[in-house]
Amino acid sequence: MKINIRKVFLYLSFTCIFTYILGIVLSIVCGDMVYLLIAAPTSGILGSIFIVLSKEEKYYFLPWLFLFFIFSTILLGMNS
C-alpha cells in the first residue's frame, strides 16, 4: 500500500486547524489564557507548515490567514 505523503500533510494541517479553533473556544469557555497564548498559535503555525509541505496550491491562502489570526489572538490574550 502506497501512502500519499501530500495527503498526510494536508490532513495534519486540517487537524491543526481544528486544534487552533478548539484552543480559542477553550480559552473563551474556561477563561484561561494559556490556551489562547500557547495552544492556538502553536497549532496555527504547525498547520501553516503542513499546508506548505502538502504542496496543495489551492490552500496556500491559509498560512496568511493563520498569521493574521495568530497575531490577533496573541494580542487579544495579552490585553485580557
**pLDDT tens, position by position, 15-37:** 777 777 777 777 777 777 666 66
Q: How many domains does the chain have?
A: 1
Who has greater pLDDT, 18 or 59? 18
SS3 32: coil
Confidence bin at 1 (pLDDT 50/70/90): low
Residues in CB range of 70: below 8 A, 6 or more apart: 40, 41, 44, 45
DSSP 79: H
Q: Average pLDDT, whole number, for the chain? A: 72
Helices 40-54 and 5-30: crossing angle in degrees, nearest 10, is 160
Please tell me the pTM assigned to this model: 0.56
Read off the pLDDT of residues 37-51 as tens digits, 9 standing for 90 and up. Answer: 676 677 777 777 777
DSSP 59: G
pLDDT at 19: 76
Angle, CA 73 vertex, CA 71 and CA 75 arms, to 5°? 70
Nearest partner of 51 among 9, 4, 8, judged by Cα:
9
Domain hosting 28: range is 5-79
